[in-house]
Structure 1
């Protein structure tokens, strides 16, 4: 008797069973009520430039929640909750990975806009470019996209409103495993998910090419010494710190906003203090 072979097959069937159990707790019938969507033409702002952009580090991984507190913008596809990000001044090109978890029979199916320094859309990564990554023993099923952001300054994540409520059907892992092992197809139901207006994402940013500046350009250092005299700051850096301060205050991260304020003042951005105070007043008014 080949005990090694039997043990190997037992482990394969055990993994199939475990994934089946995991999925049975993750997927629910698609007849459940959809999360509340924003109004058809609702919008927080008149233009993309007015959105609050979260500053990104050159390399980082972060969790992103899109919910009823997220900014609403009326995109070409209709109104959607959104999250907006600004690449760091030293990032010329970056590799971006976005994962959207499929759970409880629902999933946020992202669209991504990539903007230049003038807030003009230069590329769109639509929901069609997000591929299904089936569940395994360590993680649930997800929608995943990998793309390069080259010569762009801003990134906006949102959803195609016209697709809310539509179904995504994925092959049950037990069927995938059975096909792989040449076994009879099990009597299991393929998980079904609906595209919804809110959800949780994970995002990773990795700078692949750094921007080059003249030797006296203040953007070469994000923490210049107080004794330095950087001269007049570049408008790109001014915009970056203004938006970063507003975003930090909006997230109730005052310590981060204060740190950004100090850095901005060291760069010679003289109106950063006024931006901070205005952002604090606006935040207090909302509360």
Structure 2
């Protein structure tokens, strides 16, 4: 019996050592960007007007790639609409189980110079609510005269990082003044892609002059239409020569064909022949047709 116990203990120890020595595979996140950058300067970026109350957008494989001082990054570019002088923005980057886009924001001047930048450390962690995920959150303002352009991207240093977020049960216990529960705070990996949202609140509006007006608004149609038509008609009447007089042989041919059509009761054909003969210069086709239908 003692030998059996020792044997079982040895087998158990060997199995534990074997499990401990078995290599584990971990998912290595890919935060590198091998595709070429779309542009060499901020002025070459494409911009989305910030209209409406909010904009949900994603930075994904279809987004633009910019070459920033820290290296390449997928990004989104936005511009103030012309009717807004100052705009308050709440930028949120949602934290999902698949990861989060760790943002950096550049505010650019009308000449595309960097005026203001917000690092990841400037963003606050915003806990989840009933209808929203955890998020990175930052509130700031843009102005038409100083900072009409905004770029949201994520440097490689950010993409390689992660964030440990408080467990919902721990937050609940702290709010209720209860003892801290034995839970592990989840870790969210920073990624090169992510889902974000802009909440927009105009602070000051501005009026502006349209840079280009439609042609119809410049040239009134009521005053020019009549002369144009009159000129066209006059030109047509002058340019179109009168049809030459039809030869007697042709007159006789058309009249015979009109007569045959009327006698066969094919009035549509007779009318067509009469009109064709008149256009060709006949002076007797109409009289022939009228004379025949009187009989």
Question: Which TM-score bucket, shorter chain as reference?
Answer: 0.5 to 0.7
In structure 2, distance between residues paired with 1:82 and 1:223: 34
Q: CA deviation at 1:35?
A: 4.0
Q: Partner of 2:171 in structure 1?
A: 176
User: In the alignment, which residue of structure 2 is the partner of 1:218?
Assistant: 210
Deviations 1:158-190 (A, max 9, x none): 112112121211221211221222222111110
Tell me how far 1:212 sits from its aligned partner: 4.9
Are 1:205 and 2:197 counterparts? no
1:32 equivalent in structure 2: 27
Contact kept? 1:35, 1:198, Cα under 8 Å: no
| The one of 64, 74, 92 aligned to 1:99 | 92
- 1:109 corresponding residue in structure 2: 102
Larger radius of gyration: 2
Residue 217 (structure 2) aligns with: 227
Q: Aligned-pair distance for 1:56?
A: 2.3
**Paired residues for 1:15-26 under 5 Å:** none
RMSD: 2.3
Question: Does 1:140 pair with 2:140?
Answer: no
- TM-superposed CA distance for 1:204, in Å, is 2.0
CA shift in 2, pair 1:56/1:102, >3 Å: same
Matched, 1:51 2:41: no
Shift of 1:223: 8.7
Is the CA contact (8 Å cut-off) linking 2:31 and 2:159 kept in structure 1?
Answer: no
- Counterpart-to-counterpart distance in 2, 1:228 and 1:60: 34
Find the residue that maps to 1:218 and give its secondary structure: coil
Structure 2 gaps of 5+ residues are 1-25, 220-295
Aligned 8 A contact 2:74 2:192 in 1 = yes
| Cα distance in 1 between the residues matched to 2:201 and 2:115 | 20
Contact 1:95–1:207 (CA under 8 A) maintained in structure 2: yes
TM-score, L = length of structure 2:
0.60
SS of equivalent to 1:227: helix
1:122 to 96, 115, 127: 115
Q: CA deviation at 1:136?
A: 2.7
Deviations 1:119-176 (A, max 9, x none): 1111112211221111233222111111111332211111121121212112212112
Q: TM-score if structure 1 supplies the norm length?
A: 0.61
Residues 71-93 of structure 1 deviation map (CA, whole Å, 9 limit, x = unaligned): 11111122100111121112221
The number of aligned residues is 192
How far apart, CA to CA, are the structure 2 residues paired with 1:116 and 1:129? 21
User: Are 2:63 and 1:70 aligned?
Assistant: yes
> In the aligned structure 1, how far is the partner of 2:133 from the partner of 2:168?
11
Aligned twin of 1:265: none
Q: d(CA) in 2 for partners of 1:32 and 1:101?
A: 21
Contact 1:78 / 1:162 at 8 angstroms: preserved in 2?
Answer: no
Runs of 4+ with >3 A deviation: 222-226
Q: 1:207, 1:224 → 2: CA distance?
A: 29
